[in-house]
Amino acid sequence: MPIKDSAKKYMKVTAKKTEENRKTRGAYRAAIRNLEKAVHAGDKKEMEKYLLLSQKTLDKAVQKNVIKKNTAARKKSRLNKMVLATKK
């Protein structure tokens, strides 16, 4: 346990930020999982819905500095490629 007050505060802040990052990361991972399920099911309406949702949540994760910009761009590109492959 921390002894100094500043260290105690730092622990609280770190715990809060960790929880916030975990929620954000979980949100975009859930959106990607739902998109993958829709792709495997072949449901075009659901694919479009979850593609937009996953792109939106990835962009929010970038804004909150949970993931880097290029990582989000790569993930969005791969998801888009996956959806386009099923449309052919």
**Has this prediction a pTM greater than 0.85?**
yes
Single out the residue of 59, 72, 64, 58 nearest to residue 18, CA to CA.
64
pLDDT, residue 2, reads: 86
Domains by residue range for the chain, with CATH: 5-86 (1.20.58.110)
Single out the residue of 88, 68, 72, 76 nearest to residue 35, CA to CA.
76
DSSP reduced 3-state for 43: coil
- Tens digits of residue pLDDT in 24-80: 999 999 999 999 999 999 999 999 999 999 999 999 999 999 999 999 999 999 999
Single out the residue of 60, 54, 44 nearest to residue 75, CA to CA.
54
- Tens digits of residue pLDDT in 5-17: 999 999 999 999 9
Whole-number Å distance between alpha carbons of 70 and 61: 12
Whole-number Å distance between alpha carbons of 59 and 79: 14
Is the pLDDT reported for residue 88 higher than 80?
A: no
Q: Average pLDDT, stretch 1-6?
A: 89
Q: Which residue has the tokens 């859930």?
A: 30
pLDDT, residue 85, reads: 94
Is the pLDDT reported for residue 20 higher than 80?
A: yes
